[in-house]
Structure 1
Amino acid sequence: MAKYLISFERGAMDHIPDEDFPQVGKDSHAVIQEIRDAGVFVFGGGLSYDDGDVEHAVVAVDGMVTDGPYPESKELIGGVTIVDVPTREEALKWAAKIAVGCRCAQDVRKFMDDPEM
């Protein structure tokens, strides 16, 4: 089994009308429940950036802390789901279902194997 990060960028859902968000929430939660029921869910969640509590920081190897990236940046991730599946194709299948539920494209990346785990 391998772990895959399925994510989307902040702003990817900006095209969705406000009145559609309740249904998008229901649809995306249904997909996550399906992933849970399949036994491949590891972790998932949306990342905050609208509530004023967005204090992003970059910590350098010397411990220096700097601000960034900024909320306006396209570099911010909007939400993530981590699945543990046997193949890339399986990860892509789940990403496609999440894309439908969230109404936005999903990025799929495999975590590196850790020989110590």
Structure 2
Amino acid sequence: MQRYLLSVMQPEGTPPAPEVLAGIMRNVESFHDELKAAGAWVFAGGLHSPATATVLRVKDGDVLMTDGPYAESKEYLGGLCIVSAPDLDAALRWGRKAAEATTLPIEVRPFMGGAGE
């Protein structure tokens, strides 16, 4: 089995109203339950906003640390899910279910190195 990263692409701006977000989170929990039941679950988690990020980069032999996101963007990584799937088509089916659960764009990418076991 290959491992795939399902990246949840969060738009910048005001989050949904609490009652809307509660419904989305119920859908996400159901999606995670489905992954677990199918044996495809590896890991999932949400992320705080880019404003909470710290970027470390090497420059002239030193490691510089700056607050905030690496790049300004209208979308940012809001969460992720790692799934185990036999092939890209199966991973894309999980990605479709993730998009339906979150109502957000999902990027599906394979991990390097094949089976990931």
TM-score range, shorter chain: 0.7 to 0.9
Match of 1:6, SS? strand
Q: Partners in 1 of 2:93 and 2:37 — Cα distance?
A: 15
Structure 1 portions without partners, runs of 5+: none
Aligned residue-pair number: 115
Q: Partners in 1 of 2:90 and 2:101 — Cα distance?
A: 17
Match of 1:60, SS? strand
| AA at the equivalent of 1:111 | F
Q: Contact 1:42 / 1:84 at 8 angstroms: preserved in 2?
A: yes
Q: Contact 2:53 / 2:69 at 8 angstroms: preserved in 1?
A: no
Q: Contact 1:69 / 1:75 at 8 angstroms: preserved in 2?
A: no
How far the C-alpha of 1:75 sits from its partner, in A, is 6.1
Q: Contact 1:13 / 1:102 at 8 angstroms: preserved in 2?
A: no
Q: Contact 2:6 / 2:108 at 8 angstroms: preserved in 1?
A: yes
Q: Contact 1:9 / 1:74 at 8 angstroms: preserved in 2?
A: no
Q: Partners in 2 of 1:107 and 1:30 — Cα distance?
A: 20
TM-score normalised according to structure 2 size:
0.80
How far the C-alpha of 1:88 sits from its partner, in A, is 0.3
More displaced, 29-38 or 69-78?
A: 69-78
Structure 2 portions without partners, runs of 5+: none
> Relative to 1, partners in 2 of residues 1:12 and 1:93: Cα closer, same or farther, differing over 3 Å?
farther
Q: Percent identity?
A: 30
Task: State the partner residue of 1:58.
Answer: 56
Instruction: State the Cα RMSD in Å.
Output: 3.0
1:31-42 matches, within 5 Å, as 31-42=31-42
1:10 aligns with 2:17: no
> Relative to 1, partners in 2 of residues 1:4 and 1:11: Cα closer, same or farther, differing over 3 Å?
same
TM-score normalised according to structure 1 size:
0.80
| AA at the equivalent of 1:89 | D
Task: State the partner residue of 2:94.
Answer: 94
Q: Partners in 2 of 1:22 and 1:71 — Cα distance?
A: 30
* The structure with more strand, counted as a fraction of residues: 2
Task: State the partner residue of 1:20.
Answer: 20
